[in-house]
Every structure is written in structure tokens, then in C-alpha cells.
């Protein structure tokens, strides 16, 4: 996995540089707003979604320059969703990536607005990409907007289900929307920019769907097995809030077996692609074995 580690470091650095150019400096008026935006965007996130855009795009032969704005736009959408999810009216979280959440560091109004402006900036970032043609930008915009709407659907379903026993089908529906949709568009957008074939796009969509599910399953496991210190966010929250999770349905061992099964599905989808998919396979194992 040495190759993957290097890939993550490289893609993380270049995505950070791109985001730094795209987001107004914290001297830009209104200062407080862009300080808050930068506080949350540059909080040491893993940049997993942008890495997925780059990994899939490069697998199908796209130039990095064509992928960077879309990768950054997706990270903006992801960050906006974290800022809003952490709000007192939602998950009411004080800690994210080991430091104060946006509304704690600034205030609620600023956090709401920072999320709002990040969403606008994401769509502007794609529309103003000089390395992509208009047709592709429209397709990416339509798919990203659809995924962003699904993400909101998922958050609402999650809130509606709080304190209730929900079925495993509903749990999967929540995750497919809340986290799955953005992971899916991350992988798809790389393939779309690289002009992959319909069959390849289909295989990548299935791969991303398994990857998204695996991401959620390991998230649920980490909430139980890790400390707040390691996670950088409040651990054990699912249990104290009596949230339905994969371990609450299958137990810890059963959930680990499920994770193995989903890992295999992801790998099988990749086997249908006649390219060097090593990085994409390593990404699956990285998710499975992550410690935070």
C-alpha cells in the first residue's frame, strides 16, 4: 500500500493547493465568513472524495488538470454538509477532526452561511473550469446537484429515524443517500471527465456504491472501537444516542464479516475493467483497515 500512501499524499497536497486558490482568502470581506469557510475546509480532512475523483480519472487516462476543480468542488459540498450536520439543531457536535466545529469556533449564523456559500462555490468551481468542455460541465453539474440533494434527503431520513428502531432496509437507504451519493459522484465524475465507456461507468458506479457502503460500515465500527482522541470526533455517540447502526443489527463480528463481503463486491466490480485498477483496489483496503 506504499503506492496508495504516496497517491494520497500527492493528491491531498494538490487538492489543498487548488482549494486554497479557489476559496477567497480570510482577508476577503466579509472576513468572518471566509475565516469560517477556511477553518472548516482546511481542518486536516482526509480528502478521500477528491482522491477518489483523481484515482478513477487517472485510471481511465484523464489529465490531472481536468480533474482538480471537480475534485475540489466535491470537497466543498462535503465540507458544507459537515458544517451543517454539526449544528446544534442537527447532530450538535462540538468536535470535528480534532478541533472545534465551525459554529463553536465562530457562531451558528456564520456556520450556516459558511455552508451555504460553500455550496454555491462548488457549482461555480465546475462552471468556471477552463479545462473542461461545456457538455461535460453540464453533466457534472447535474449529477453533483442530484447527489447533493440526495445527501440532504439522507440527513433528513437520519434525523427522522433518531430514537426509533428502524429496519436494515431503511438504514441502508439513509446511508445510500447521506454518504453514498457523494462518494458515487466522486468516482463517476472521474470516469465522466476521462470519457470512460458506458460499461466502464457502470462498473465504476457499482464499485463506488460498495465503497460507500464499506465506508459507512467501518464508520459504525470505529465509533464503537476507537477513542475520541484517535477519531478527532466524539466516539461512542451512536450507542449513547441509541442510533441504529450495522453493529446494532449484526454485532461487531457480524459487521466485520459484512465488511469483508462488501469489500469483495467492490473488488469484483473492478475486475470488469480492463485497466490497471491497483490504486482503486488499494483504496478499498484502505477503507476497510482505516483506524479513523
User: What residues make contact with its own copies under the rule CB under 8 A?
Assistant: 29-30, 32-33, 80, 84, 87, 89-90, 107-110, 112-113, 115-117, 119-121, 123-124, 126-128, 133-135, 137-139, 141-142, 144-146, 148-149, 152-153, 155-157, 159-160
**106 or 286, CB closer to its own copies?**
106
Residue 196 CB, shortest distance to its own copies, in Å, is 19
DSSP state string for 199-263: HHHHHHHHHHHHHHHHHHHHHHHHHHHS-HHHHSS-TTHHHHTT---HHHHHHHHHHHHHHHHHH
**155 or 179, CB closer to its own copies?**
155
**193 or 214, CB closer to its own copies?**
193
**Of 57, 204, 50, the residue nearest 132 (C-alpha):** 57
Question: Please, which residues bridge with residue 96 across strands?
Answer: 99
Residue 37 CB, shortest distance to its own copies, in Å, is 10
Residue 184 CB, shortest distance to its own copies, in Å, is 15
CA dist., res. 152 & res. 129, Å (int): 26
Residue 12 CB, shortest distance to its own copies, in Å, is 25
**155 or 209, CB closer to its own copies?**
155
Identify the three-state secondary structure at position 277: coil
Residue 22 CB, shortest distance to its own copies, in Å, is 12
**Of 189, 180, 173, the residue nearest 56 (C-alpha):** 189
**119 or 255, CB closer to its own copies?**
119
**177 or 245, CB closer to its own copies?**
177
| 106-17-58 Cα angle (round to 5) | 125
User: What Rg do the C-alpha atoms of the chain give, in angstroms?
Assistant: 18
Question: Please, which residues bridge with residue 95 across strands?
Answer: 100
Residue 182 CB, shortest distance to its own copies, in Å, is 11
Length of the chain: 292
Contacts of 120 (CB under 8 A, 6+ apart): none
Give me the torsion for CA of 202, 208, 194, 79, rounded to 10°.
140
Q: What's the burial of 289, exposed, middle or buried (CB within 10 Å: 0-12/13-18/19+)?
A: exposed
Residue 187 CB, shortest distance to its own copies, in Å, is 19
**123 or 286, CB closer to its own copies?**
123
Amino acid at each position: 500500500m506504499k503506492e496508495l500512501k504516496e497517491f494520497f499524499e500527492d493528491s491531498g497536497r494538490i487538492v489543498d493547493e487548488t482549494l486554497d486558490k479557489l476559496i477567497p482568502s480570510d482577508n476577503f470581506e466579509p472576513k468572518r465568513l471566509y475565516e469560517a469557510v477556511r477553518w472548516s475546509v482546511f481542518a486536516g480532512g482526509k480528502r478521500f472524495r477528491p482522491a477518489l475523483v483523481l484515482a478513477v480519472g487517472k485510471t481511465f487516462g484523464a489529465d490531472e488538470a481536468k480533474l482538480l476543480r471537480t475534485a475540489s468542488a466535491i470537497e466543498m459540498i462535503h465540507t458544507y454538509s459537515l458544517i451543517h450536520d454539526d449544528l446544534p439543531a442537527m447532530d450538535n457536535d462540538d468536535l470535528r477532526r480534532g478541533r472545534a466545529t465551525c459554529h463553536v469556533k465562530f457562531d451558528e449564523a456564520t456556520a450556516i452561511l459558511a455552508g451555504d456559500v460553500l455550496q454555491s462555490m462548488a457549482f461555480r468551481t465546475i462552471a468556471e473550469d477552463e479545462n473542461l468542455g461545456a457538455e461535460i460541465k453540464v453533466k457534472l453539474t447535474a449529477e453533483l446537484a442530484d447527489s447533493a440533494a440526495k445527501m440532504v434527503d439522507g440527513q433528513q431520513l437520519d434525523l427522522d429515524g433518531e430514537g426509533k428502531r428502524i429496519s436494515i432496509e431503511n438504514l441502508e437507504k439513509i446511508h445510500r443517500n447521506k454518504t453514498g451519493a457523494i462518494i458515487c459522484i466522486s468516482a463517476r465524475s472521474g470516469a465522466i471527465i476521462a470519457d470512460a465507456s458506458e460499461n466502464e461507468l457502470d462498473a465504476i458506479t457499482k464499485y463506488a456504491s460498495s465503497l460507500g457502503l464499506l465506508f459507512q460500515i467501518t464508520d459504525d465500527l470505529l465509533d464503537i472501537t476507537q477513542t475520541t482522541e484517535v477519531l478527532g470526533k466524539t466516539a461512542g455517540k451512536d450507542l449513547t444516542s441509541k442510533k441504529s447502526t450495522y453493529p446494532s443489527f449484526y454485532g461487531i463480528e457480524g459487521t466485520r464479516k459484512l465488511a469483508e463481503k462488501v469489500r469483495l463486491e467492490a473488488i469484483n466490480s473492478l475486475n470488469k475493467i480492463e485497466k490497471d485498477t491497483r490504486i482503486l483496489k488499494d483504496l478499498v483496503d484502505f477503507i476497510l483497515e482505516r483506524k479513523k
